[in-house]
């Protein structure tokens, strides 16, 4: 057996293969992203600088991610952000990018629309375009006017002057008729018209009304009808009554029908005299629903189903319909007047609604000499519209309590009033509106009418929802994408929820009182339901005068007006904070989980590209609030808190769990002040200037020259150029064919050398990073020239006594009960996933109390 492979020596998913020449040897085939004899090293995927267009690379395990500038997007920031790409403008609006901001756009809206995305239809009725009391109905980039009687035109601007006429049906054919739609539900009516016929051979129908009953979902074809001039049959709610009137004497007669659903009574008048009346049980409390009124035919379906045996031959004139039941005196006045206007059907409108061979006679009928209204009739077309409307609604003086069902009466004059109905209708509010029948309710299942209103109910197995309108299945509850059975209980978003009979009820999770021991404080981290105790966080302060105090209490002055890396998670790469001191208005931009939060010293907060109002929260990631002392806090789920204080200074606090995870100008947060001067290149700086400059975010000028090399002395620039161009030597030619953007390593080396001033060791990071990039691409550099070997030996000379320089520091550190932080570099960042150069304790020793000690001393000094 091959003993070595039995112990699975290859780490991170590597595959162990025995050496075919020796039973005691093996080699590891490493998974992508790892290298080393045992695949113990995570290759720094950022060494090839994969992020384009100024993006910042954050290394991961066998992966990386790019933090892109605001004008770019994509995995490697390769795509320029195009705000119009998703066509955000609606309703035909044209999207135009904002020339001042790459993330913004504005929409040029089509006519009739407005809003940031042209999502709002402009109300074309705001200008009140309808005249003479017309009602405006808004449309899409248009409007229509519903005109009152005797007005017409697009804006009801044209006055209609009714002229006398009659409709003649000479042949009695099934194709000859006039029709008009009644678009209202009626609780009462008055039908009035004049007719003349000599028809004897057919049961001609002068007028009929049919509708579809919404409750029965059936056609009521004989809602009312007057048929057969030989004996004048009246149909009402499909029940027939023989009036005994012979109407075929070829003379003009006035015919009227009244009905009220209050008591179900209908009355039939012939020439002003009551000829028939009855109480229709089926019509009491019911409606004449929206339907079709047809003159000259009997309907077997709504607006159709005509029969030639029932086609009318004769003349019809002055047909009007009102929405209330008139008295006998009123009917007699109608019989002596012409030119009246019904408030449901007006005669003058029917002349344009004929079909077939229907003749329109413009001659004034015999019964209308002079075509004048009765002076006492308020329905006359010559009266103002407002007067006619009030005439239809007027009741007796209010002192007589004319309004029913407890409704209010308003005085119109000394002898007239008007009833103000709420939940009722009719001149005297005598009709309860049955919202269930008229389908004006909002119940999802069962509607129950009540006086003045309605209630909703549910079938068995269902329960009424909180809105008292919709029914839900009582056996389970739905919340978001989750389903819960009746009786289930669960916790969500710091709420204790239960499902009971289809309803979810939630209450806040109860929290116990928290008292923290000395050295700890109460914290309420984003995502936690209750407060808890945690060690007081370490703090890094940046004062308004440019003075920086690190986590480990070292004071550093910031140089000039530049952008620096203030703090960073150097273990997992989860967050980065950059300070922009490049203008009079300082700001810190916080990158966390693909979210960008910028806090300006004037209290403005920008999330990604949008200015936000406080409080603001991205659930589970960040919460931004104002606290009592007028400070602004950016709280993260990692426990890192960024705070802008009233004196325009910034405070960064981090929890103890991030001990030794931090890097940047705020330091490594290890409790030791002496090692805070650690450059971006993981080596100690000789001066504060060198330390600060190393964390500056630099630009690369044309020709590959970094900004840091533009203003340094010529001698220093030449020295940097001489050393860094070793990377372009022939020894590395084989790498140049494999490594992506290899010249970026030369540029990185140049920037490091120019930033570090007199410190000649700043090239180490770039050199070793290039070697790691070569290893990643399976290119091994076996031979190094003597000069390069001497340069690399200089890196080791900077390590404190007892420590050694390692081109790839240890990744897996032993944990000891009394020395929990083992093998921590003094001049390096604690790394658990990256292979980086630095000064480390030798194998078998740990860093404790400022020096490397043997593991055996840990127990003795605990």
Domains along the sequence of the chain with CATH: 3-39 (2.10.25.10), 161-386 (2.60.120.200), 398-432 (2.10.25.10), 479-504 (no CATH), 522-676 (no CATH), 705-856 (no CATH)
- The partner residues of 418 in beta bridges, in order of sequence, read 410
The span from the CA of 837 to the CA of 680, in Å, is 12
Task: Choose between 375 and 167: higher pLDDT.
Answer: 167
Dihedral (Cα; 361, 367, 371, 376), 10-degree rounding: -140
Q: What are phi and psi of 106, to 5 degrees?
A: -140, 155
- The single residue listed with the structure tokens 């995502």 is 527
> What is the pTM assigned to this prediction?
0.49
The span from the CA of 376 to the CA of 384, in Å, is 14
pLDDT per position as a tens digit, 8-55? 788 888 888 888 777 778 888 888 878 888 888 888 888 888 899 888
The span from the CA of 583 to the CA of 595, in Å, is 24
Task: Choose between 704 and 240: higher pLDDT.
Answer: 240
CA neighbor of 604 nearest in space, from 583, 586, 577, 622: 586
SS3 letters across 387-414: HHHHHHHCECCHHHCCCCCCCEEEECCC
Q: What are phi and psi of 629, to 5 degrees?
A: -85, 20
Q: What pLDDT is attached to residue 280? A: 66
Q: What pLDDT is attached to residue 302? A: 94
The answer, yes or no, to whether residue 264 has pLDDT greater than 50, is: yes
DSSP, res 324: S
Confidence of residue 683 (pLDDT cuts 50, 70, 90): low
Token pair belonging to 420? 């103000």
Confidence of residue 696 (pLDDT cuts 50, 70, 90): confident
Q: What pLDDT is attached to residue 564? A: 86
Backbone CA torsion sign across 761, 766, 772, 777: negative
Q: What are phi and psi of 774, to 5 degrees?
A: -65, -45
Contact 14, 30 (CB under 8 A): yes
Q: What pLDDT is attached to residue 799? A: 64
CA neighbor of 838 nearest in space, from 802, 798, 805: 805
The answer, yes or no, to whether residue 584 has pLDDT greater than 60, is: yes
The answer, yes or no, to whether residue 652 has pLDDT greater than 80, is: yes
Average model confidence (pLDDT) across the chain:
81
Task: Choose between 520 and 233: higher pLDDT.
Answer: 233
Q: What are phi and psi of 606, to 5 degrees?
A: -120, 125
Q: What percent of the chain has pLDDT over 70?
A: 84
pLDDT per position as a tens digit, 724-742? 877 777 767 777 777 767 7
Contact 277, 265 (CB under 8 A): yes
Q: What pLDDT is attached to residue 543? A: 86
**Burial (CB count <10 Å: 0-12, 13-18, 19+), residue 110:** middle
Distances (CA, A) of 452 to 261, 422, 618: 16, 7, 47
The region of weakest confidence among 316-320, 634-638, 682-686 is 682-686
Q: What pLDDT is attached to residue 194? A: 95
The answer, yes or no, to whether residue 834 has pLDDT greater than 50, is: no
Angle of helix 786-796 versus helix 764-776 axis, rounded to 10: 120
pLDDT per position as a tens digit, 534-579? 777 788 988 888 888 888 888 888 766 678 888 988 877 788 899 8
Q: What pLDDT is attached to residue 771? A: 72
Q: What pLDDT is attached to residue 378? A: 73
The span from the CA of 390 to the CA of 449, in Å, is 30
**Burial (CB count <10 Å: 0-12, 13-18, 19+), residue 249:** exposed
* Burial state string for 773-801 with b = 16 or more CB within 10 A and e = fewer than 16: bbbbeebeeeebeeebeebbeebbebbee
Sheet holding 188-196, edge to edge: 273-279, 265-270, 253-260, 188-196, 314-322, 166-169, 359-361
pLDDT per position as a tens digit, 120-171? 888 889 889 998 888 999 888 889 998 887 788 899 988 887 788 999 999 9
Radius of gyration of the chain (CA): 46
Q: What is the mean pLDDT of residues 782-790?
A: 66
Q: What pLDDT is attached to residue 703? A: 64
The span from the CA of 721 to the CA of 861, in Å, is 49
What residues contact 381, with CB distance under 8 A and at least 6 apart? 149, 150, 162, 339, 340, 341, 348, 373
Q: What pLDDT is attached to residue 816? A: 38
The answer, yes or no, to whether residue 596 has pLDDT greater than 60, is: yes
Q: What pLDDT is attached to residue 813? A: 39
The answer, yes or no, to whether residue 181 has pLDDT greater than 90, is: yes
CB under 8 A, 24+ apart: contacts of 599-604: 599/632, 599/634, 599/642, 599/644, 599/650, 601/544, 601/644, 601/648, 601/650, 603/632, 603/644
Confidence of residue 759 (pLDDT cuts 50, 70, 90): low
């Amino acid at each position: 057996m091959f003993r070595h492979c039995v112990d699975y020596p290859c780490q991170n998913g590597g595959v162990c293969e025995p050496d075919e020449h020796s039973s005691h040897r093996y080699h590891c085939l490493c998974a992508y992203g790892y290298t080393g004899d045992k695949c113990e090293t995570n290759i720094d995927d950022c060494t090839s600088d994969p992020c384009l267009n100024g993006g910042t690379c954050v290394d991961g395990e066998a992966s990386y991610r790019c933090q892109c500038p605001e004008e770019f997007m994509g995995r490697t920031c390769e795509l320029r952000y195009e705000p119009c790409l998703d066509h955000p403008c609606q309703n035909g609006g044209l999207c135009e990018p904002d020339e001042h901001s790459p993330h913004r756009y504005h929409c040029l809206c089509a006519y009739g629309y407005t809003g940031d995305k042209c999502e709002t239809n402009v109300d074309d009725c705001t200008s009140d375009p309808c005249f003479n009391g017309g009602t405006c109905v808004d449309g899409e980039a248009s409007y229509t006017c519903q005109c009152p009687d005797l007005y017409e035109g697009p804006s009801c601007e044209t006055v209609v002057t009714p002229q006398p006429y009659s409709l003649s049906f000479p042949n009695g054919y099934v194709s000859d008729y006039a029709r008009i739609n009644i678009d209202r539900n009626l609780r009462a009516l008055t039908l009035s018209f004049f007719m003349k016929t000599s028809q004897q051979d057919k049961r001609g129908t002068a007028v009929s009304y049919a509708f579809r009953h919404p409750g029965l979902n059936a056609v009521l074809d004989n809602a009312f009808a007057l048929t057969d001039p030989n004996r004048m049959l009246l149909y009402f709610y499909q029940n027939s009554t023989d009036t005994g009137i012979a109407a075929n004497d070829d003379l003009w007669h006035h015919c009227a029908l009244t009905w009220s659903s209050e008591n179900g009574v209908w009355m039939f008048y012939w020439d002003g005299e009551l000829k028939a009346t009855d109480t229709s049980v089926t019509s009491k409390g019911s409606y004449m629903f929206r339907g079709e009124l047809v003159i000259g035919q009997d309907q077997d379906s709504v607006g159709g189903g005509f029969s030639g045996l029932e086609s009318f031959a004769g003349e019809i004139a002055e047909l009007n319909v009102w929405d209330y039941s008139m008295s006998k005196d009123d009917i007699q006045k109608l019989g002596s007047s012409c030119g009246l206007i019904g408030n449901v059907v007006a005669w003058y409108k029917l002349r344009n609604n004929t079909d077939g061979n229907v003749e329109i006679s413009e001659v004034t009928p015999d019964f209308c000499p002079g075509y004048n209204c009765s002076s006492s009739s308020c329905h006359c077309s010559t009266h103002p519209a407002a007067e006619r409307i009030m005439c239809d609604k007027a009741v007796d003086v209010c002192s007589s309590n004319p309004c029913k069902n407890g409704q209010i009466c308003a005085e119109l004059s000394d002898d007239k009033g008007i009833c103000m109905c709420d939940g009722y209708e009719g001149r005297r509010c005598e009709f309860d509106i049955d919202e269930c029948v008229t389908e004006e309710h909002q119940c999802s299942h069962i509607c129950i009418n009540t006086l003045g209103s309605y209630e909703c109910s549910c079938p068995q197995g269902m329960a009424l929802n909180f809105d008292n309108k919709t029914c839900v299945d009582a056996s389970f509850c739905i919340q978001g994408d989750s389903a819960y059975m009746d009786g289930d209980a669960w916790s969500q978003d710091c709420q204790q929820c239960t499902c009971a009979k289809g309803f979810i009820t939630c209450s806040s999770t109860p929290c116990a009182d928290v008292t923290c021991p000395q050295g700890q404080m109460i914290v309420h981290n984003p995502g936690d339901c209750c407060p808890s105790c945690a060690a007081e966080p370490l703090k890094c302060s940046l004062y308004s005068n440019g003075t920086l105090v690190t986590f480990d209490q070292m004071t550093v002055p910031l140089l000039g007006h530049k952008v620096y890396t203030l703090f960073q998670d150097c273990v997992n790469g989860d967050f980065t904070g950059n300070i922009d001191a490049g203008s009079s208005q300082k700001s810190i931009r916080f990158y966390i989980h693909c979210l960008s939060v910028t806090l300006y010293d004037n209290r403005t907060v920008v999330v990604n590209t949008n200015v936000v109002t406080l409080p603001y929260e991205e659930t589970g990631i960040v919460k931004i609030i104002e606290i009592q002392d007028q400070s602004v806090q950016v709280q993260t789920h990692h426990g890192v808190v960024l705070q802008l204080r009233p004196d325009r200074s910034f405070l960064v606090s981090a929890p103890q769990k991030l001990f030794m995870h931090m890097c940047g100008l705020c330091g490594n947060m290890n409790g030791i002040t002496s090692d805070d001067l650690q450059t971006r290149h993981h080596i100690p700086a000789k001066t504060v200037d060198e330390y600060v400059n190393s964390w500056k975010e630099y630009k690369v000028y044309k020709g590959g020259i970094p900004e840091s090399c533009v203003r340094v002395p010529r001698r220093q620039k030449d020295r940097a150029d001489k050393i860094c161009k070793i990377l372009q030597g022939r020894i590395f030619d084989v790498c140049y064919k494999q490594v992506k953007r290899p010249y970026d390593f030369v540029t990185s080396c140049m920037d490091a050398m120019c930033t570090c001033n007199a410190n000649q060791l700043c090239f180490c990071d770039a050199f070793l990073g290039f070697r790691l990039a070569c290893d990643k691409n399976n290119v091994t550099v076996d031979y190094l020239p003597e000069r390069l070997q001497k340069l690399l030996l200089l890196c080791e000379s900077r390590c404190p006594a007892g420590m050694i320089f390692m081109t790839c520091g240890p990744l897996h550190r032993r944990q000891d009960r009394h020395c929990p932080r083992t093998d921590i570099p003094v001049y390096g960042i604690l790394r658990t996933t990256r292979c980086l150069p630095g000064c480390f304790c030798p194998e078998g020793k740990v860093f404790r109390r400022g020096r490397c000690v043997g593991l055996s001393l840990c127990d003795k000094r605990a």
